[in-house]
Each structure stands twice: as structure tokens, then as C-alpha cells.
Structure 1
Amino acid sequence: MKFLKIILATAIVLCIVLVATDYWISHKAEGYLYSKVADIPKNKVGLLLGTSKYIATGGINPYYTYRIDAAVALFKAGKIDYILISGDNSHISYNEPDTFKKDLVKRGIPENKIVLDYAGFRTLDSVIRAKKVFGQYSMTIISQKFHNQRAIYIAKNFDIDAIAFNAKDVTNRYGLKTRLREYLARSKAFMDIVFNVGPKFLGEKIPIG
């Protein structure tokens, strides 16, 4: 019985920590998120956060589609001049930046306005590399709202003057699973900040524009 009480108490504490971290990161992002193209200030670079184009069942990932739509809308409205695509290219058969680039070009974005970051293995890497590798101290982050909140939290802790544009969200069961995983991702982001964790790779500087 004592062992079960310890397990229950531990579970309650973990739940409290997850909820508190989720609230704190959402709170810290307030005032930096935009959902209307007309309202968002202009930045030279939009940081488009990567994701897989396809879901496990083979269909198109709606998060991917909506991020493409958001990036195109911002560029065509003159709210960004360049799109920095940051995603995972950890092995030869999986290349988020190139996949995004191909679809952006199909949507009318000039190739010379697209910059690729192949070492955006996670959000922290993408945000910090945008500053330290690509020289961007201010930027517009492009993803869904829940993801933008975490990215803004990371950016502010690394002295990056970032705002974010919220791509359309996903509200079905697939979206619910993603949102539940976000609780864990936020706790990891909080701990990364506490322990000053940096990107997996940095490398030579790559200026934009």
C-alpha cells in the first residue's frame, strides 16, 4: 500500500509540473503571437519550423500543409523577405528542408529567397542556429500556435527578438495526440533552458541576404 501511495504521489507531482510548465511557456509567449497576416510586423527572415510531409498512414501531414500556406501568405504579403527552413536531415532518406523547399517553389517562392538549415533536429536547435549560424537576431517564427509558444520561449531566453505567425492548427484526433506530446516537449524545453543546453551542431556562419 505504501508503494502505491508513493507512485500516486509521484504521478500527481509530475502532472502538476507538466501543467505548470505548459502554463508558464504559454504565458511567456503572450504578445508575440499573430494569427492575421495584416497584423504582424515585418521581419527580414521567417523561420519555418520543419515537420514530416507524410503521416504514418501515408497521407499528407496537415501540419506540414498549413505551415507551407502560412509561409507563402507571409512572403506574398511582404511580411518576410526570406524563408529559412529548419528541419531534420539526420539520414539520407529523410530531408525536411529540401521537401519544404520543393513545395514552396511550386507555390511561387523564388529559390534565391529560400535558405536551408539541415541541422534543425529539434526546435531548440532551429531557433538558436538561426541566430548563431544564420545571424538573425530578430525573426518571425512560422508554425502552429502551440509550437510557436515553445519556440518563442526558447528565443527569448537566448536574447532573440522573435515574433511568431500561427499557421492553421489541427483539431482532429491526430492533433490531440500531438498536443499531448507537447506537454512533454515543453518540460524538456524548460529543462534545456535551466541547464543551458545548446544545439547539436553549430558550424560556420551563413549570412542571409
Structure 2
Amino acid sequence: MKKIKKYLKKIMLISFLLILGVIGSIIIADYLVVSKTESSLFENVTMIPTRKVGVVLGTRKILPNGYINNYFKYRIEATVSLYRSGKIKYIIVSGDNSTKEYNEPEDMKNALIAKGIPKDRIFMDFAGFRTLDSVVRAREIFGQSSFTVISQKFHNQRAIYLAHLEGMEVIGFNAKDVNIKYGIKTQIREKLARVKVFVDYLTGKEPKFLGKKIIIP
């Protein structure tokens, strides 16, 4: 009986230390990502520096309940605002196209065209499966090591931090965020994704696909 109690105490101690380690990792990762990217984020279109290319990070257009995804809607609106203000000249829509039925880049391109953006100014990245893929492929495939990334603030922070780790000069334009209750699951997932940034960097994680280079005029 004493051996069993001793064993259980040991298990509890190990579990406690593991939980403490996870919480500590989340706090540290979040602090580093936020503190190192604050000066590279912009919300006022008149204040953001001009860049040749804007990279829109993908998300689904329609939610499972059939409603429009506000993350998608606000990213499109932010991109249009930047283009019309002359802050970007070309746009890369980078997202997931893992199946024929699911095509984030195509949805983003069509939404931008519907808003009056010329289709010859839009380039599609069909292999932006993750933020890491979108950032690295912007350089390796599209030849851009300095650009504006467009998404919600929490997403831009992680994308910019990844870009800085890769030695790239990237700034972010923050699209309007969604209601905290509406996006609570996304916010929780984001905290874990920030820890994964460091795991991927330390393990030398690379994009799932690269491919032929695409020239932007």
C-alpha cells in the first residue's frame, strides 16, 4: 500500500511539473511573439509603409453553420483598403487547397475581384497550409523577402515573428478582429500555435511543398 501511495505521489508530481512546463512555455512564447512584433504592426492605412506585395493569410470563407466567416470577410476588406490606398501593388492570397472542394486562395481571389481588384494583380499560393508555409513560400516561390502580411492582429504577430526568424523584413496590417466570444476557440488555438513556432524553428521545420518560382512583375 505504501509503495502504491509513493508511486501515485510520483505520478502526481511529474504531472504537475509537466503542466507547469506547458503553462510556462505558453506564457514565454506569447510574450516573445507580442514584444518582438509590436513595432511592425499597423492598423491605420495612412501610417503603414508602402510595400510592393501584400500576403493575405487564408481562412475558410463559409463556416460549418453556413454563415460567412468574419475572419475571411475582414481580411478581404483590409486588403482592399491597402490596395486602394496604394500601400500595396500586388497581392498573394495564400491558403489551403488540399481538396478540390476546399480552396481558400480561389475564394479570396474571387472576393477581391468582386471588390474591384484587377485579377492580374492577384497571385494564388495554393500550398499555404500553415502560416509557416505562407511566409516561407512568399520568399522561396514568389521572391518576396519584404512584404505586408494581412490578417487579424494575433495572426499577424505570429506570421511576423516567423518571418523575422527567417531573416525577412515583414510588417503587418491588422484586419478588424471578431467578437471575443465568437473567436474564443481560435484565440486558445493561437496560444498553442505560438509554442509550436519555436518547436518548428528548433526542429528545422520546412513548408510541406515548394515548387516552381513565380515571378511578380
Matched, 1:207 2:208: no
- State the match for 1:46 in structure 2: 54
Out of 9, 28, 33, the residue aligned to residue 36 of structure 2 is 28
SS where residue 109 of structure 1 aligns? Answer: coil
Aligned counterpart for 2:90 among listed residues 72, 82, 86: 82
1:182 corresponding residue in structure 2: 190
Residue from 74, 82, 85 that aligns with 1:66: 74
User: Where does residue 3 of structure 2 map in the other structure?
Assistant: none
Return the alpha-carbon distance in structure 2 between the equivalents of residues 31 and 60 of structure 1.
31
TM-score, normalised to structure 2, is 0.94
CA distance in 1 between partners of 2:30 and 2:202 (Å): 15
Identity %: 50
Which of 155, 166, 170 in structure 2 is aligned with 1:162?
Answer: 170
Aligned residues: 209
In the TM superposition, 1:51-200 aligns within 5 A as 51-200=59-208
Give a deviation string over 1:98-118, Cα, whole Å, max 9, x none.
Answer: 001111000000000000000
Alpha-carbon deviation of 1:172?
3.2
RMSD: 0.9
Q: More displaced, 41-50 or 166-175?
A: 166-175
Deviations along 1:47-91, one digit per CA (max 9) or x if unpaired, are 000000112211111100000000000000000001100000011
Question: What per-residue deviation string (whole Å, max 9, x for no partner) do you get for residues 112-152 of structure 1?
Answer: 00000000000000000000100001100000000000000
Local SS of the residue matching 2:39: coil
Letter in 1 for 2:147: M
Runs of 4+ in 1 over 3 A off after TM superposition: none
Letter in 1 for 2:134: S
Q: CA deviation at 1:170?
A: 1.1
Q: Which runs of 5+ in 2 are unaligned?
A: 1-7
Residue type of the alignment partner of 1:139 = F
Aligned to 2:15: 7
Q: Secondary structure of the equivalent of 1:30?
A: helix
**Higher gyration radius (CA):** 2
